[in-house]
Chain A
Amino acid sequence: MPYIPNTNQEREEMLGEIGAKDFQDLFGNIPADIRLKRALDIEGGLTEQDLDERIKEKGSWNRPAAEGSCFLGGGTWDHSWPAVVDQLSGRTEFLTAYTPYQPECSQGTLQCIFEFQSMMAELCGMDVANASMYDGASACAEALLLATSTTRRKRVVVSKGLHPDARATIQTYLRYQNIEVVEAPLRNGVTDWNGSVDSQTAAVLVQQPNFLGNVEALDPVAASCQETGALAVASINPIALGLLRSPGHAGFDIVVGEGQPLGIPMGYGGPHFGFFATRQKFVRKIPGRLVGATLDQEGRKAYTLTFQTREQHIRREKATSNICTNNALMALRGCIHLAALGPKGLEEIACVSRQRALQLAEELSSVDGIELAWPDRPFFNEVAFRAAGGNPAVAQFKTTLAQNGIQAVLPMSRWYEDMEGVFTLACTERTRSKDIKRLCDQAQNTFRLEVSL
């Protein structure tokens, strides 16, 4: 049997030592009336070679966006990463290790997490960052839980420009804590906070850049939080921070986000990782694992999991969160990728992504039937357009592009009723001028037909 090393003879010997007649006997403590009297109806028994063929066949039913040209964004982007990320994170000493609860034989994983925490905190302009979260959406929900428990207030304000899955996740996480979630509407492509933040507000959450791709103004959020005592929370694209200022610099209290752009394959949406960074004063409220530096018995520098009294395995029902397993290996990829980028490399990727988006904005908006949805709004690497032909035109455009190996067009009307005909396209450093040209040529064809009809 695959992966089971003991031979029949060894099994017999072991059963003999235990004093069991056979496996039926060994399972004697499971009452007979609840034992399964038949084999499970589960297909299997494939050899490695057969399985490889099967998986190749199934794989051929997919049309991976990363293999053609990909203009899809909306929380997952088609960035590149250097080969060292795969090579080093694939080392089985990292891959097959458990959570580093035993520090002496886990210094490798622990130091990596410490370095990850250091770089994420620096990037976000915060004092501390944790070892990772499941993803950006659940990190948003946990940030709001921290804010409500710290401020003892029961109301949070969330921008409608936050990723729709993150907004849905927040609704689910906060529902049974009796916390009111107020969604601040979008006006002209950015959040309209007008009047939504008051002295009962625990937190204000803004996404930078927002789901439409537009850059939000951080200062007014920080200012209204300062005034009312609410915590200012930002969900950010970490690559954008190569160009945009950190929320920490703007006076925010918590910075979370989706780490996928930092060297994680798109992978049909997961596993990616979430990050969670905040001020030192909230360290005892942070969800999830934290690594700290300390000394060993000989006075040597050593790393260990710390502030574990926040966590479920110690505090049980009084823990700050129920999170246990996080997304450590994905965070390790992020750690290696950030080290490989360095300050200059990060800035270059951010610049090129933005430059390509500028080019796309200019060229596509010159096609008849398509315009920039919010021409005055600055964006980072994702741009919102509006098709004169409305949602049917958008759907047609998407299909045509997919048929030509271009994965693109995220229709915003799926989440925003008032955004008929609006769609976004994203660029990264992988986007080539010729990809943009091909996309615009397809647009010419599609919308010319549209106009002539």
Chain B
Amino acid sequence: MNLDIVHLLIEDSVPGRRCVRTSGADRKAAIAGLPQAEVREQAPALPELSEMDIVRHFTRLSQKNFAISTQFYPLGSCTMKYNPALHESIAGRSHWNGLHPWQDDGEVQGALSLMWELQNDLAEATGLPGVTLHPAAGAHGELTALMILRAYLDGRGETKRRVILIPDSAHGTNPASCTLAGFKVLTIQSSKRGLLDREDLRAHLGSDTAGLMITNPNTLGLFEENIREICDAVHEAGGKVYMDGANFNAIMGVTRPGDFGVDMMHLNLHKSFSTPHGGGGPGSGPICVTEELRPYLPNPRVVEEENGYRLIEDSEASIGRLRAFHGNFGVLLRAWAYIRRLGAKGLLRVAENAVLNANYLRIKLREHWRVPYDRTCTHEFVARPKKTMRENGIHTIDIAKRLIERGYHPPTVYFPLVVNEAIMIEPTETESKATLDAFAQTMIEIAQEAEAGNSALHAAPKNMPVSRVDEARAVKEPILTWATK
């Protein structure tokens, strides 16, 4: 970890210093014929730097990050698995990244064949035959699916069905996407066993039900055992079931949402299918739907014809577009490569080992931390500080910051909301037993510190470029650019 202060680019700027040069520029010739009102009088105040300045700046900044390539990252519901080196090498080749999106289909048969295969593979993995690779991220996929549901309901004249039921353990994007698609949200409680409360669900199903959004396995890392009954109940009430596929890593090759009654779902290729998170994207959130909903998928889609592959926009019922062009192709390419490396057998091994690793950590930690739903979990589980620790004034935030100090990226904290002070741990299948053992040992030591009320926990982290930051100040005195006075 680089502890040095790295200046802002603008602070190192020296008038007249250059990096990129392009020959032949003639401003006078360029502005000839342009309306004077639209010509920029003054160049934008961008930094003036040399290439070396830029290399040092960004290299040093990179050393102020935790990343999968440097640290264990047991971030619940985010599936921070290893991102294979080969994928980056492939995606950087001009045969892929040199394609223009308006090239004719005949010029891009390699790209279209790959998208076609990926569509088929995702359909097979989910048991849902209609696939679009269009959405740019998971939340974008949710929104796409909810709009499909709106279009489907409107097409049937069912304009009273405007309520989406969402469990209280759901990701925040679920309700936010509902609002954007013009639905109302009704929250369903979790049962004492950490599963969707079936009685509460039944009580809220009715003639206004558009559907249910369910995460399975849920954010507590528990498989919704009654999923088939739940889906049946929603269907009987005239609704559709949407599954948030963020946790698909746990069930690949084990069970298929299409087989247990789900009507539509999204997949996060940047979680389950190993494409890198990039510090917050780009992701890709394909959605998979039943045959009945297929006509509503967004444009365009890839089809296979006698003479090759084609992009089509032929469905009148389609909801249209939610972005430009044909999806985050570079992400699709990496996911395709991942699937071809692993195949059916490998995907099953992924799920098995993800679940094995999570349960192994759960067993290691259950005596030292409170594990509110302490039974066999899927790919993740939720822990929390014990009452005695909290009485010492030690909270989840302190645990997270102490973990940073000890060289681990913290688990997801304070989520799901149904567990107070949640610590949500997802190790993924790409971590070894040795890494898990070392992490467990660290967690046990931190538990002992917390039990002892060690005040060092409040001061952590001490060995990072910065200590705990004043987030309230960032809102009260907003400084969002370097020009802010």
Contact = CB atoms under 8 A, between A and B. Distances in A.
Contacts of B176: 312, 315-317, 319, 321-322
Interface stretch (A6-14, A192-200, A444-452): A6-14
A121 to B, nearest CB: 5
B96 A59 contact: yes
5 contacts: A36-B256, A66-B94, A97-B279, A107-B464, A270-B282
B419 interface: no
B182 A176 contact: yes
Given A4-B353, A348-B21, A292 B99 contact: no
Contacts of B465: 104, 107
Interface in A62-105: 62-67, 70, 72, 74-76, 78, 82, 84, 86-88, 90-100, 102-105
A168 B298 CA distance: 11
A127 B40 contact: no
Contact of B65 (A94, A283, A346): A94
Interface stretch (B233-241, B328-336, B386-394, B448-456): B328-336
B321 A5 contact: no
B169 interface: no
A121 B280 contact: no
Given A29-B222, A72-B100, A88-B62, A165 B25 contact: no
Interface string A1-30: 111111000110111011110010011111
B334 to A, nearest CB: 11
Nearest to B92: A86
Contacts of B321: 137, 165, 168-169, 172
B363 A327 contact: no
A310 B316 CA distance: 36
Contact of B109 (A52, A61, A96): A61
Contacts of A95: 67, 69, 83, 88, 276, 278-279
Interface string B160-176: 00000000000111111
A2 B353 CA distance: 12
A397 interface: no
Contacts of A329: 276, 278-282
A271 interface: yes
A260 B322 CA distance: 18
B202 interface: no
Contact of B329 (A108, A267, A313): A267
Given A42-B121, A96-B277, A270-B282, 16 more contacts: A42-B339, A46-B340, A61-B110, A64-B98, A100-B280, A106-B64, A138-B140, A177-B180, A267-B330, A270-B329, A271-B329, A271-B331, A298-B467, A327-B282, A328-B280, A343-B44
A434 interface: no
A123 B46 contact: yes
Interface string B42-80: 011111110100110111011111111111010100101
B290 interface: no
Contacts of B139: 312, 322-325
Interface stretch (A224-232, A242-250, A435-443): A242-250
Contact of B320 (A35, A93, A119, A171): A171
B104 A402 contact: yes
Interface string B348-367: 11101101110110011000
B478 A307 contact: yes
Interface in A320-351: 321-330, 332, 336, 338-351
Given A48-B341, A94-B67, A122-B46, A328 B278 contact: yes
A223 interface: no
Contacts of B100: 65-66, 70, 72, 76, 78, 266, 268, 407
Interface stretch (A151-159, A211-219, A363-371, A384-392): A211-219
A186 interface: no
Contacts of A453: none
A98 B359 CA distance: 23
Interface string A140-171: 00000000000000000000000101101101
B108 A62 contact: yes
Contacts of A348: 20-22, 25
Interface string A284-313: 000001111111111011111011000111
Interface in B118-148: 121, 124-125, 136-140, 142-143, 147
Contacts of B303: none
A297 B479 contact: no
Nearest to B464: A104
A308 B471 CA distance: 10
A111 B281 CA distance: 16
Given A30-B223, A82-B19, A339-B46, A59 B110 contact: yes
A44 B344 contact: yes
Contact of A2 (B33, B346, B478): B346
Given A40-B125, A42-B121, A271-B331, A336 B54 contact: yes
Interface string B85-115: 0101010111111111111100111110110
Contacts of A13: 433
Given A5-B432, A104-B467, A347-B43, A293 B474 contact: yes
A328 B92 CA distance: 18
B171 to A, nearest CB: 8
A217 B35 contact: yes
A67 B101 contact: no
A136 interface: yes
A62 B337 contact: no
B167 to A, nearest CB: 12
A245 B41 contact: yes
Contact of B8 (A3, A115, A289, A327): A115
Contacts of B395: none
B96 A316 contact: no
A112 interface: yes
B111 A93 contact: no
A34 B25 contact: no
Contacts of B375: 29
Contact of B352 (A26, A66, A355): A26
A294 B474 CA distance: 5
A3 B274 contact: yes
B474 A58 contact: no
Contact of A30 (B175, B254, B337, B468): B254
B444 interface: no
A135 interface: yes
A447 B348 CA distance: 58
A402 B107 contact: yes
B199 to A, nearest CB: 20
B337 A4 contact: no
Interface in B1-59: 1, 5-6, 8-10, 17-27, 29-35, 37-41, 43-49, 51, 54-55, 57-59
B340 to A, nearest CB: 5
Given A34-B259, A105-B65, A177-B182, A268 B54 contact: no
B324 A352 contact: no
Contact of B478 (A28, A138, A165, A306): A306
9 nearest A-B pairs in the assembled complex, by CB-CB distance? A44-B343, A269-B325, A329-B278, A269-B101, A66-B98, A64-B98, A176-B182, A59-B95, A271-B282
A341 B280 contact: no
A136 to B, nearest CB: 7
B40 A246 contact: yes
Contact of B172 (A35, A42, A293, A316): A316
